[in-house]
Structure 1
Amino acid sequence: MIAKGTPFVASYSGGKDSTLALWRAVRAGGKPLALLTMLDETGGRSRSHGILPAVLDAQAAALGLPRISGQASWGDYERVFVEQLGRARAMGAVAAVFGDIDLAAHRQWEEQVCAQASLAPVLPLWGEDRLALVREFVDAGFAARIVVIRRDLMADDYLGRVLDHALIERMLADGIDPCGEAGEFHTLVTGGPLFAKPLALADGDVRADGDYLSLDFGLAASI
């Protein structure tokens, strides 16, 4: 875990795991300086979760942290990510917090990019039980909705649902990992500890892209 008083940047997708990792790092006494969120090459959506920048900005404002981001294709993702870590280091960060749980290839990559940026990688959730973590997230008072699903692994009606204990039980009954570590789904955190206020969101369009189905959330006043 992070040492008390350590200034850090949080690699932040806007989803449950990166939020829980941020929360744990703050509770351990770490000092968050910024959220790092990668966008696609157009800058129109977050790279992994497809979240609109206005919603990412609302999350950052509710968390009271600046957001730094880079635009990248998958081909130049690592280079741009390291550049953003460098920006965080210039802000005073000495560590980067990630929300990965048990995928060794992800940890190896995070250690690699942190080494390039002279930052210490911190993984507060690493090696813990997946089900226990998602239950901790809900029990802590966080609120999240499912923003992306893989249609070959989940029913369409999971899209947009609130992540609560009832939904976790349904996932277990359906043979779905409630942490979504195989890419079954992604979440958008809308409130909870660390948030000054819940996000006011409205449902937008549903988008299909191959096996993936996504729900665009926008700010309530803008839809």
Structure 2
Amino acid sequence: MINNSSFFCSWSGGKDSCLALYRAIDQGGVPSYLFNMLTENGQRSRSHGIPREIIEKQAESLKIPVIFGSASWQGYKEEFISVLSEIKKNDTNYGIFGDIDLEEHRKWLEKVCSSVQIKAYLPLWQKKRESLVKELLDLNFKAMVISVKDDVVAKEYLGKIFDWDMVQDFKNADIDISGEGGEFHTLVIDGPIFSFPLQVKPKEKYWRDGYWSMDIGLK
């Protein structure tokens, strides 16, 4: 579908956007940018709370330029479209997203992308959770859990690498193993499309807006 086509990847820093990027490259697409939305002060990612310097280090390892937007939730859509307009000027025709089955969000993505004549492409859409997790782990992507939803996932998982033992724990507890509903968030630190692994260090754990999160920095 995207063979030889230029694309940007909506980049959270986590496992699903990373697997979507991998699939797009594997299908012959040509990555032009990673696109990450930051908070108003431009210091952390809006979705996962990852420090900007970590996202930049991922981009360096992936050898793909990263472009940032920065906004409150209230101004999110306007800023998102503004950045897409700039991306489109560089003949980028597709936007890659890691959504699996949230229909409302898919419709939103398709709407904002089409407003600037970019096609939204979701390589993971409607794929089975188990097969996506198997693909991620078989490819040897290393994803660290950095945020968990309070009363859903225990904060003891913070800082641990997402692996089959964790998957089994989540299945036993009836937790979505892909975290599609925001049950947990990850940071990918290594994998087959990374030129070097990220060296990160855990900092303090903190609670905010219903989530336990772990702050991280570069070593």
Partner of 2:81, secondary structure, is helix
The CA deviation at 1:210 is 3.5
CA–CA separation in structure 2 for the residues paired with 1:206 and 1:159: 8
Q: Secondary structure at the match of 1:57?
A: helix
Report the AA paired with residue 78 of structure 2.
Answer: R
**Structure 2 residue runs without a partner (length 5+):** none
Q: Which moved more, 1:48-57 or 1:209-218?
A: 209-218
The aligned counterpart of 1:142 is 141
Q: CA deviation at 1:91?
A: 2.0
Report the alpha carbon displacement of residue 24 of structure 1 after superposing the two structures with TM: 0.2
SS of the residue 1:204 aligns to: strand
**Equivalent residues in 2 for 1:154-169 (5 A)?**
154-169=153-168
Q: What is the Cα deviation at residue 113 of structure 1?
A: 0.6
Q: 2: distance between equivalents of 1:142 and 1:125? A: 16
Aligned position for 1:83: 82
Between 1:152-161 and 1:59-68, the stretch displaced more is: 152-161
Answering whether residue 8 of structure 2 is matched by residue 9 of structure 1, we say: yes
Aligned counterpart, 2:96? 97
Taking the TM superposition and a 5 Å limit, the aligned residue runs for 1:110-125 are: 110-125=109-124
Partner of 1:108: 107
Code of the aligned partner of 1:196: S
Secondary structure at the counterpart of residue 217 of structure 2: strand
Deviation at 1:92, TM superposition (A): 2.0
**Counterpart-to-counterpart distance in 1, 2:214 and 2:160:** 10
Q: Distance in 2 between matches of 1:69 and 1:79?
A: 14
Give deviations 1:27-52, integer Å, cap 9, x for gaps: 00000000000001111110000000
RMSD, aligned α-carbons: 0.9
Q: Distance in 2 between matches of 1:149 and 1:115?
A: 33
SS of residue in 2 equivalent to 1:69: strand
Alignment of 1:1-223 (within 5 A): 2-220=1-219
Offset at residue 118 of structure 1 (A): 1.0
Write the distance in 1 (CA, Å) between the matches of 2:147 and 2:116.
31
Structure 1 counterpart SS, 2:192: coil
3-state SS in 2 of match to 1:109: helix
TM-score of the aligned structures, taking structure 1 as reference length: 0.96
Instruction: Report the alpha carbon displacement of residue 112 of structure 1 after superposing the two structures with TM.
Output: 0.5
Residues 70-125 of structure 1 deviation map (CA, whole Å, 9 limit, x = unaligned): 11111110110111111211122011000001110010001011011210111001
Structure 1 gap ranges (5+): none
Residues paired across the two proteins, number: 219
What amino acid does structure 2 have at the position aligned with 1:177? Answer: D
**Separation in structure 1 between the aligned mates of residue 116 and residue 125 of structure 2, nearest angstrom:** 21
Superposition deviation, residue 59 in structure 1: 0.2
Q: Give me the identity figure in percent.
A: 41
- Partners of 1:135 and 1:11 lie apart in 2 by 22
